[in-house]
Chain A
Amino acid sequence: MAIDQATVRKIASLARIAISDAEAAAMEGELNGILGWVEQLGEVDVSGVEPMTAVIPNTLRLRDDVVDADPLTGGNRRDDVLANAPAAQHGFFGVPKVIE
């Protein structure tokens, strides 16, 4: 099914990517080309086939239920977490005004 420019703008909005009208026009053709090509998957008979969830069989593990079980990924790393934030202030992430 072909997508139009309104759909392109809708997808861009969902993906939180600002696009100009010219970009939306260019992307309409590109995305239709790719989506038209992947549509051939519809001809594969998948009746009774389960969608893959794990490519190599594995079981999810639980870590020990203790605070800071792993020193790298545990707590007390505020300054490390904020070190690359573009607008950290007072020990918090800074964002533009959210509430009017």
Chain B
Amino acid sequence: MTDLTNLTVAQIRDGHRAGDFSAVEVAEAFNANVADAKALNAFIVETPEHAIEAAKAADADRAAGTLKPLSGVPIGMKDLFCTKGVQTTAASHMLEGFVPRYESTVSQKLWDAGAGMLGKLNLDQFAMGSSNETSYFGNVISPWRRKDGGNAALAPGGSSGGSSAAIAARLCPAATGTDTGGSIRQPAAFTGITGIKPTYGRCSRWGIVAFASSLDQAGPMARDVRDCAIMLENMAGFDPKDATSLDLPVPRWEDALSSDLKGKTVGIPKEYRLDGIDPDIDAMWDAGIAMLKDAGADVVEVSLPHTRYALPAYYIIAPAEASSNLARYDGVRYGLRDLPQGAGLQEMYAATRAEGFGAEVKRRIMIGTYVLSAGFYDAYYTQAQKVRTLIARDFEAAFASCDVILAPTAPSAAFGLGEKAADPLAMYLNDVFAVPASLAGLPAMSVPAALNREGLPLGLQIIGKAFDEQGVLNAGLAIEERAGFTARAEKWW
């Protein structure tokens, strides 16, 4: 019998529907892989009983002829989504032991579609990080290793590092992620999987622990483009409980998948050619251009002149919003309380927040507090929001002459745990290619395209026009079919 954990979401769905296997068999196989992979530290909470319960319902639905779109498919849930009755921590000490009394809109949609939950996936604390090293519950270890014979532990990317590691290691066929400045795409690229951040507003933010609300957007991570389309269809949709939710119908992205790009134009942004970049990255990019030409697309050079200002603008806007959003952690309403002997209310706030937040979270709250403070607001925050307007205009101008943009996802392959942890700026720079699309609210996806000389996966990024997830998915499919990326991490855990 085939190993059920090697199947994609589409294969599980279709095989279950055809009666090739039961949903309970699938759930048991993935539960076993999860239980066997403690060394990766991908999960904060495992919920095998949730997966089995959903699987039993899926098997009953099959017998009754009432199958749902994701019946029989168990998934991983990033621990940033509130799940009713299941601890939700955002990988923080602050929310350790927090058990929501409600379900996030996105996770509820997935359960309504028949999916089951294998567990809550580890992440960077409050989704702040690019390597999963800021989690209060310890680093996630990438299943990948360099082919140098060593066993250096590598970063799975961040912030959705538990999601990326779990999918790459076959602990789940798909998972949810969230992307504020690259947190779906960069971990997908680091682990040889696929992930898409849809247009801002496609997926409801209700019930997702907030980081930077004007940027936060949920999206799926999976092993191929089709699975991302299937997952996204079951995550997206209008939600009146989110003021920025898009009131638009959810397209049938899977049905409309097509890798025929005749008549399409692909833009190559010249400002993304960085001096001194890893030659393997440039070679992969050039190969990707050739693949899209082969799929029938025309290729043109485009200019995004404010690209170099995207990261500094992001590191004003995101911390500013975070400092405001995270003001809610006060030791009163939920989460940790640290009440030193004899302390009053103000001392309790300060002690609670000192104890409950990790170093990177504190750093960003401090930056955000400073740039929003009296006397500095215009120089930093207003200036950054103006630059953000210019970055969005850059994309508008570029999309006058192309349908999608192709670029690398990240400037490097996965780095070693600890290699960048001492220098916040070096870590921030890893999101240089991911952040511009976030600031402009555009759909963007990473697909695995090649291995570098160390044997580590590299990802190509496709950025699309607002609302054109289909164009992004189709270009991603054209690359996927031609790159033939089948490499996977050899099991050591």
Bin chain B's interface residue count. 35 or more
The complex places the Cα of A80 from the Cα of B98 at a distance, in Å, of 12
* Cβ A41 vs Cβ B384 within 8 A: yes
Shortest CB-to-CB span from B97 to chain A, Å, is 8
Q: Which of A8, A38, A44, A77 contacts B306 (CB 8 A)?
A: A44
The complex places the Cα of A86 from the Cα of B330 at a distance, in Å, of 10
* Cβ B370 vs Cβ A17 within 8 A: no
B199 contacts across to A, CB distance below 8 A? 56
B457 contacts across to A, CB distance below 8 A? none
Question: Which of B8-16, B19-27, B121-129, B357-365 is found at the contact surface with chain A?
Answer: B357-365
Proximity bits, A56-100, B CB within 8 Å = 1, else 0: 101011010000001011000100110111110000011111100
- Work out how many contacts link A and B, with CB atoms closer than 8 A: 168
Q: Residue A25 at the B interface, CB < 8 A?
A: no
B401 contacts across to A, CB distance below 8 A? none
A98 contacts across to B, CB distance below 8 A? 344-345
* Cβ A51 vs Cβ B201 within 8 A: no
Question: Nearest residue in A to B441 (C-beta to C-beta)?
Answer: A55
Q: In chain B, residues 277-332, which have Cβ atoms closer than 8 Å to a Cβ of chain A? A: 306, 309, 312-313, 315-316, 323, 327, 330-332
* Cβ B385 vs Cβ A15 within 8 A: no
Q: Residue B343 at the A interface, CB < 8 A?
A: yes
* Cβ B353 vs Cβ A41 within 8 A: no
* Cβ B101 vs Cβ A80 within 8 A: yes
Binding site for A on B (CB under 8 A): 98-102, 199-201, 214-215, 240-241, 243-244, 246-247, 306, 309, 312-313, 315-316, 323, 327, 330-337, 339, 343-351, 353-354, 357, 362-363, 365-367, 369-370, 373, 379-380, 382-390, 392, 424-425, 439-441, 466
Binding site for B on A (CB under 8 A): 3, 7-8, 11-19, 27, 30-31, 33-35, 37-42, 44, 46, 49-56, 58, 60-61, 63, 70, 72-73, 77, 80-81, 83-87, 93-98
